[in-house]
Structure 1
Amino acid sequence: MGKYRNPSLTTDIFIFDDDLNFILIKRKNEPYKDYWALPGGFVDYGECVEDAAIREALEETSINVELKELVGVYSDPSRDPRGHTVSITYTARGNMKKMNAADDACDIGLFKQEDLEKINLAFDHAKIIKDCLKSIIM
């Protein structure tokens, strides 16, 4: 039997408030070191994606979130220079006053859609953020 290669599974979390402000973290590590990104990360073996999203949000932002909606699945094989990753993305709510950069984040900030043109975004997060904003405005 041949050896199979499978993509890695990740999750991204779009944490937002009533004014459509949303949280981005500045990445501490490569790839895209010092670029802004959605909180997120790899799903551990034996972990459901929803639990991974909640865990990653807490690890990177110090916020306990409640997932609101599944936004989409992003699977372009070239979306991550480390290799083929598939990201499952959720919108979420939480107490944004508790936000604090931790784990793989060296900084954290609140942004609006118009801020995106002024910052460097990692991966395909510009598209993901656009899709998230579209899903919560509808």
Structure 2
Amino acid sequence: MAYHKIPSLTADIFIFDEDFNFILIKRKNDPYKDYWALPGGFVEYGESVENAAIREAKEETSIDVELIDLVNVYSKPDRDPRGHTVTVAYTAKGDLSNGKADDDAKDIGIFNVSELDEIPLAFDHAEIIRDCLDKAKK
């Protein structure tokens, strides 16, 4: 049997409200320390991607979320400096007022689409956020 390198699998969550305000976390660790990012993280062995998204949202933002929609899969081999990482992105609803930074999040912020081009974002999260906004507005 041949062995293959396997990419890491992550889930990212776009948590938004009816006015399309959304939550970002400020990363506590490298890569992209002190940059803003979507809540998310690695899928654990034996865990579904959907459950990982819900768990990561809670761990990083203290918000209980309801997944709304699968947005896209992002798989460019160079999208994460730690190695080939594939992310599955979801839109989700949750009470933004319950947000509190926790786990790998140094801080938490509520942003609006009008601020998107001014936010220093980690990874390819600007692309993911735009795709999430397009999906959420439909």
Do residues 107 (structure 1) and 107 (structure 2) align? yes
**How far apart are residue 136 of structure 1 and its match?**
1.0
Q: 1:34 aligned to 2:34? A: yes
Residue 135 of structure 1 aligns to a residue whose secondary structure is: helix
Match runs of 1:1-138 below 5 Å: 1-138=1-138
**Letter matched to residue 103 of structure 1:** D
State the 4+ residue runs in structure 1 displaced beyond 2 angstroms. Answer: none
Gaps of 5+ in 1: none
Percentage of identical aligned residues: 67
Which runs of 5 or more structure 2 residues have no equivalent in the other structure?
none
CA distance in 2 between counterparts of 1:137 and 1:16 reads 11
Q: Distance in 2 between matches of 1:113 and 1:56?
A: 23
1:40-75 per-residue CA deviation (whole Å, 9 max, x = no partner) reads 000000000000000000000000100000000000
Counterpart CA distance in 2 for 1:92 and 1:109 is 16
The one-letter code sitting in structure 1 at the alignment partner of 2:106 is C
- Cα distance, 1:35 vs. partner? 0.2
Of 116-125 and 14-23, the range deviating more from structure 2: 116-125
In structure 1, give the amino acid aligned to 2:75.
Answer: S
* RMSD of aligned residue pairs (Cα, Å): 0.7
Displacement of 1:97? 1.2
* 1-structure distance, mates of 2:51, 2:119: 29
State the Cα distance separating 1:3 from its structure 2 match: 2.8
| Cα distance in 2, alignment partners of residues 81 and 40 from structure 1 | 16
Amino acid at match of 2:74: Y
The number of residues matched between the two structures is 138
Letter paired with 2:135: S
Query: 1:2: how far off?
Result: 3.6
Q: CA-to-partner distance for each residue in 1:104-125, whole Å, 9 max, x for gaps?
A: 0000011011212212100000
Q: Secondary structure at the match of 1:115?
A: helix
SS in 2 for 1:88: strand
Report the Cα distance in structure 1 between the residues aligned to 2:136 and 2:91, rounded to whole angstroms.
Answer: 8
> What is the TM-score normalised by the length of structure 1?
0.98
CA distance in 1, matches of 2:83, 2:43: 15
